[in-house]
Amino acid sequence: MAVDPLASITAGFRSWRHVPFADRADGLLRAAELLENGRDEFARIMAAEMGKPVAEGRSEAAKCATACRHYAKHGEEMLAPVAQGEATLLHQPLGPVLAIMPWNFPFWQVFRFAAPALMAGNTVLLKHASNVPRCARAIAGLVAGAFGRDDLLQAVFVSGKEVEPLIADPRIRAVTFTGSTGAGREVAAVAGRHLKKSVLELGGSDPYLVLDDADVAKAAKACAAARMVNAGQSCIAGKRFLVAAAVHDAFTARLMDEMAAWVPGDPLDPATKLGPLARADLRDELHAQVAASVAAGAKPLLGGFIPSDPELREKPYYPATVLSEVAPGMPVFDEETFGPVAAVVRVKDDAEAIELANRTPFGLGGAVFSADPRRARRVAEAIDSGAVAINAQLASDARFPFGGIKDSGWGRELGRHGILEFVNVKTIRL
């Protein structure tokens, strides 16, 4: 008899919510071991399904293990009762949570939500992206093996049209979604109609500000890595590089050198740094953004074309691309570019850099490069986003809250804020 995934996790929640924190932590620690021991196989699955180079896939699996260990160690403390006058505040699990996850980081996106959610006593219904079904099955199998039960996380394989009934189902108590802003609006609308708590991590057009006193070589290296991670298919990738006029030419030259080193290759080859994009239509959309920006005055310095080589064209690859003389009104400035395209913008001073950084509907992340920590901090505080790195590539980290504002969504994952998203803060007053 086929298992009903939602019925399974609903039944599982009834007992899981009462399992001691120590036992939940033990399960997460076993999950961490399985992630690390199986990282080669998981990386091959990611490479086969969405083109991620195996070196990045292994790192992704290892990062998931760090999240599991973090919540195993700190989850009970984060959820401990809080005495407040004559009252006690309890943090109790909500119940089954629907996780609608994307393909670009098919393991990390799931575990950064699932590790804290499971530690808090919730169960998970995973609706993964349609192009990574093997990843979904592998994650469900890993969680079942780690916790010794298969009613804590179940994968469901349905079309996008079948998601709305899942959100509406009264057994689902909350929804978490990572994906495009347009799809996020639809999920939020359905969740709102049914009064379901939701967390949305959506698109981004992250600004990286290179001030006139920045170490150009270090900034270019970090910016290239920020743009090229996962072939540029990351909401939190650096996308718009706002560079002070005094260092613009030197930075742009170094950025071109750094990005030129990312050569397309077989994602199953451990030496490959740049894999293909996940789908041909995504490459076509990206190239259309580049072409329209060039037609509007952007200057292509590197890449910016669909490869003529039949194999690279079919896979589908897009080369590392650098555009200079970018300005508002161009697609690569105004829109999210989901691929290896760096848009370089010349700015005259910090004030203009901040103004252009914030001239976007998005607000996910960003970075500032400067030799003066106080100056960098002032600029970082003025950027409208959920996170800003100083003199480094911005990356999510299990220890710190992650999420955006404006069209980049609401709510937080990771850190203490992340584990509190899916709990009922109950006041018991004597």
Calpha distance 350→117 (Å, rounded): 40
**Strand pairing of 82-84 and 87-93?**
antiparallel
Distance CA 224, CA 82 (A): 44
Task: For residue 223, indicate whether it is catalytic.
Answer: no
Helix (H) or strand (E) holding 96: strand 96-100
Pick the catalytic residue from 49, 56, 60, 201.
Answer: 201
40 vs 30: CA distance, rounded Å:
17
DSSP string, 315-367: TT----EEEES--TTSHHHHS---SSEEEEEEESSHHHHHHHHTSSS--S--E
The reply to whether 201 belongs to the active site is yes
CA dihedral sign of residues 377, 241, 184, 330: positive
Token output for 256: 């071109």
Q: Smallest Cα–Cα separation from 373: which of 391, 388, 348?
A: 391
User: Which candidate in 64, 68, 223, 235 is catalytic?
Assistant: 235
| Angle at the Cα of 241 from the Cα atoms of 295 and 391, rounded to 5 degrees | 170
Burial readout 338-366 (b: 16 or more C-beta within 10 A, e: otherwise): bbbbbbbbbbeebeebbebbbebebbbbb
Place of tokens 């995504």: 282
Residue carrying the six token digits 């069209």:
407
For β-strands 367-369 and 123-127, DSSP reports them as unpaired
Tokens of 34: 């399985």
Q: Classify residue 20 by burial, with Cβ atoms within 10 Å: 0-12, 13-18, 19+.
A: exposed
How many CB atoms sit inside 10 A of residue 181's CB? 19
Hey, which residues are catalytic here? 201, 235
